[in-house]
Amino acid sequence: MGTGNDLAAATLETLPITVAVIDGDGEILSTNRAWREFGPDDAADHVGVDYLATADVDDEHARRAVEGLEAVVEGERETFAMEYPCHSPDEKRWFLMRANRFTVDGAVRVSILHLEITERKLAEIAVEETAAELREEHEALEHVLDRIDGLLREVTDAAVGAATREEIERRVCETLVGTDPYVLAWIGRLDATNRRLSPREWAADGDAALEDDELVLGTDETHPAVRALADGGVQVIQDLEAFDDAERWWPAGAGDSFRSVAAVPLTYGDVTYGVLTLFATDADVFGERELLVLDSLAGTIATAMNALEARRMLTTDSVVELEITVEDPSQFVAALAVALETALSYRGLTYAEDGTPLAFFQADRAVEAVPPAAEIDGVSDVTVLSTYDDSALLEVAIDDAVVTGLSEHGAAIRRFDAATAGNESAQTAAREVGVDLTVDLPTAQSARSVYDLLDRTYDGVELVSYHETDQPPQTPQDVVARLESSLTDRQLTALRKAYFADYFEWPRNVSGDDLAQSMDISRSTFHQHLRAAQRKLLDELFDSA
């Protein structure tokens, strides 16, 4: 027991908090080193002093402490805690006092500790000061909220209640112009074929006039609407009088009608539907709070447009065909053609069990060996599935983000070929290898987004043709969609590999063993998957006839 008491006493001495123990009469029985060193009379242990009697009852905090301690001593409560200031001439300090009642051999004892909490209190004060500043900012924000009261609701109603995209654009512009201090609003769309941006719908109050010229991406970068589309973020001119190119875009004297301009891209996900350009009567109107409101409005408008497009996609009988050339040696099809010294013709696409895209390409010469996939960006593996006298079929495992992006936009790849100028071999014209890409897309917006994706990723991207055409009542995509819902991943992969490798031709240039090996399965398992897929394909064919 003595050893335990000695250990407890020694431990108490080392604590960085002041500790004292009093008896039922308030007399101090013991203190620790921190207690003795805290007061002005160093080394005084205060043992025998009536702790309760020494308190300054004229001090509010001391009086409260005495009342709490007396309640603990009398057994009215087991614990008591309070925070109090104890400032010195040199610094401000705060402490936490905590008292706990216990007994020793039936005698009442109360432990009293004081813990300095100055850092925490200073942090709380800083938070309170910050909160006060925020309250002031909130009060300053009220005039903005008063001005735009109902604007979000009105624009939302206009966007959601419209039946067509044109109606959304018209009603939104009219609603915005009806709100002070806006005097002109227009929503522009970008023509993907010539990269020109022009207002489609607009509304104006008074003499405010539209821009003098049509806008072109890539050349008219000083215009905020063009910058907004190019950069994907809000662009602002706070004062036209200080804007050097103002007279280039707006008629002389336009500053009499409006002084500041903001352009906000209308973006849903990675699809951009256009740009909202808004004009205000005064300079410096588009502050941080105003732009937050406009950004929210733009999101609402783009969401409504996306919903309309989604509904139209379910009922439309048209498809957008986009034909693009890419002359960038870093593009994986071009790089593969150069590495193999051959032109490549796209045959089709499937997916491995882990989701990796597997593309099939026909080489225009017999290929015996393939380069290491690590040498070609965007390619994780290349396999020769079958060889012919003057050609070969390649299976290419792809980790290229563009292929994934095409899939996310609903693109059906029709052509993905690599050729050289004048049909020369890639060996003699490596730098001239170009990639011809043709895809079918569900909407004009998805076509625009696909073009932007390619343009951002590669150099030498050129739009060759853009066509909106009617599609038949039942398309190959419809058949594939139904098949994919009934086939397992392995069955679909086996069927596609067999087809692209000309397994169904006679004589065969590839065996079931080769195809099974490419899927890392046994020959019998491959044929089980293939027969099951063939049966389901025939069911689809004859049941739909």
Q: Is the pLDDT of residue 2 over 60?
A: no
In terms of average pLDDT, the best of 183-192, 235-244, 246-255 is: 235-244
d(CA 234, CA 280): 15
d(CA 415, CA 409): 16
For 106-155, the pLDDT digits (tens) are: 899 999 999 888 888 888 888 888 888 887 777 656 655 665 566 667 77
- Write down the pLDDT at residue 423: 46
For 513-532, the pLDDT digits (tens) are: 888 888 888 888 888 888 88
- Write down the pLDDT at residue 9: 73
- Write down the pLDDT at residue 481: 64
Rounded mean pLDDT of 71-76? Answer: 92
Under CATH, to which class is 2-116 assigned? alpha beta
- Write down the pLDDT at residue 99: 93
Three-state SS for 145-186 is: HHHCCCHHHHHHHHHHHCCCHHHHHHHHHHHHHCCCCEEEEE
Length of the chain: 545
Structure-token pair, residue 305: 């447009």
| Residue spans of beta strands (DSSP E) within 50-124 | 79-85, 94-104, 107-116
- Write down the pLDDT at residue 213: 63
166 against 159, higher pLDDT: 166
Helices (H), 316-361: 332-340
Residue 386's pLDDT band (boundaries 50, 70, 90)?
confident
Q: Give the domain ranges of the chain.
A: 2-116, 148-315, 317-471, 472-545
φ, ψ for residue 334, nearest 5 deg: -65, -45
Under CATH, to which class is 472-545 assigned? mainly alpha
436 against 13, higher pLDDT: 436
Strand order in the sheet with 271-280: 215-216, 196-204, 182-191, 271-280, 260-268, 235-237
d(CA 191, CA 448): 8
d(CA 430, CA 74): 97
Q: Is the pLDDT of residue 276 over 90?
A: yes
- Write down the pLDDT at residue 75: 92
Rounded mean pLDDT of 47-59? Answer: 84
Decide: pTM greater than 0.85: no
Q: Is the pLDDT of residue 430 over 60?
A: no
d(CA 459, CA 376): 17
Residue corresponding to tokens 């431990």:
11
Q: Please, which residues bridge with residue 28 across strands?
A: 22
Q: H/E element holding 385?
A: strand 379-387
Answer for the pair 434, 418: CB distance below 8 angstroms, yes or no.
yes
167 against 135, higher pLDDT: 167
Structure-token pair, residue 406: 């095409």
Residue 33's pLDDT band (boundaries 50, 70, 90)?
confident
Structure-token pair, residue 452: 């932007």
Answer for the pair 16, 110: CB distance below 8 angstroms, yes or no.
no
- Write down the pLDDT at residue 438: 93
d(CA 309, CA 149): 30
- Write down the pLDDT at residue 135: 78
Structure-token pair, residue 7: 């250990």
- Write down the pLDDT at residue 429: 46
- Write down the pLDDT at residue 496: 84
For 220-227, which contacts have Cβ atoms below 8 Å and span 24 or more sequence positions?
222/248, 222/249, 223/249, 223/263, 224/261, 224/262, 224/263, 224/277, 225/188, 225/197, 225/263, 225/275, 225/277, 226/197, 227/263
Chain-centre distance of CA 310, in angstroms? Answer: 21
Answer for the pair 324, 440: CB distance below 8 angstroms, yes or no.
no
Q: How many CB atoms lie within 10 A of CB 198?
A: 16
Residue 316's pLDDT band (boundaries 50, 70, 90)?
low
For 483-507, the pLDDT digits (tens) are: 667 778 888 888 888 888 878 887 7
The reply to whether 148-315 shares the fold of 2-116 is yes
148-315 has which fold?
Answer: Beta-Lactamase (3.30.450)
Rounded mean pLDDT of 249-259? Answer: 70
